[in-house]
Amino acid sequence: MTGVRPVLVLTHVPHEGPGLIAAGIDGPLQIRTVLHDAEPRLPALDSLGGVVVMGGPMDADDERFPGLAAERRLLADAVDAEVPVLGVCLGMQILALALGSRLHLRHGTEVGFAAVDVVAEDLVLGALGDRPTVLHWHSDAVDLPAGATLLASTPATPVQAFRAGSALGLQFHPEVTVSMLDLWLGTPDMTADLEPEDVDAIRAGGGQHLPALVPAAEKAFAAFGELVRARG
């Protein structure tokens, strides 16, 4: 992988790592958590092949975590510089705010496996199919950023995915593997608001849907990896 620029992966909690995204990138990663640092030392964009922003339990505009503002600035600059960007769940919301969108707190809870309607073609998202069943784990939502293309939607969350130039935002979690799902379901912070039967339903949903979703997600993230490698 000599000569390939690394991808910066911004995480917010230890259990929400890049999962299948890492395999799709198939190159060097720099994993950082900068929540508590108002002025983090982040790599220069011209040294990066891409930027990935993962999920987390905090609000995307939570002022208790000044590093979120630094993430928003980085993402805005990355889109301006046409650096490949992928935001997942909280990461999508941070991306949307970076592009001038509005955040709607507690808009509607979606937790568990359910379908999303794909409404536009996209090189990366398209690998999942027209109506994939994916893992949701959120209650906040965002408006579609100005100039962005809506890619996927559900009745509860009108903006489930969007494309804005070099950036793709996904409100759901196609990066999750079987082992990641087991980790999440064993993490008290993830399941604190769930009833035992909800946890059982999510575990059963994983057994039903991940066998088809994982290979599709691998293709999607491989397409993102191609965009990263195209930067050299």
Condensed to tens digits (0 to 9), the pLDDT of residues 6-46 reads 999 999 999 999 999 999 999 999 999 999 999 999 999 99
173 is catalytic: yes
Question: How do the domains of the chain map onto residue ranges?
Answer: 7-229
Provide CB contacts within 8 A for 186, sequence distance 6+: none
Amino acid at 143: D
Helix (H, G, I), strand (E, B) or coil at 108: coil
Number of other CB atoms surrounding residue 37 within 10 Å: 14
Strand 29-32's sheet: what is its strand order?
29-32, 7-10, 50-53, 85-88, 167-170, 161-164, 149-153, 117-118
- Write down the catalytic residue from 12, 89, 110, 138: 89
Catalytic residue among 12, 136, 138, 173: 173
Q: Are 174 and 220 in contact (CB under 8 A)?
A: yes
Whether 175 is a known active-site residue: answer yes
CATH number, span 7-229 = 3.40.50.880
Question: pLDDT (tens digit, 9 = 90+) per residue, 60-119?
Answer: 999 999 999 999 999 999 999 999 999 999 999 999 999 999 999 999 999 999 999 999
63 catalytically annotated: no
Which of 16, 71, 110, 175 is catalytic? The answer is: 175
Tens of pLDDT, residues 137-189: 999 999 999 999 999 999 999 999 999 999 999 999 999 999 999 999 999 99
- Assess whether pLDDT exceeds 50 at residue 3: yes
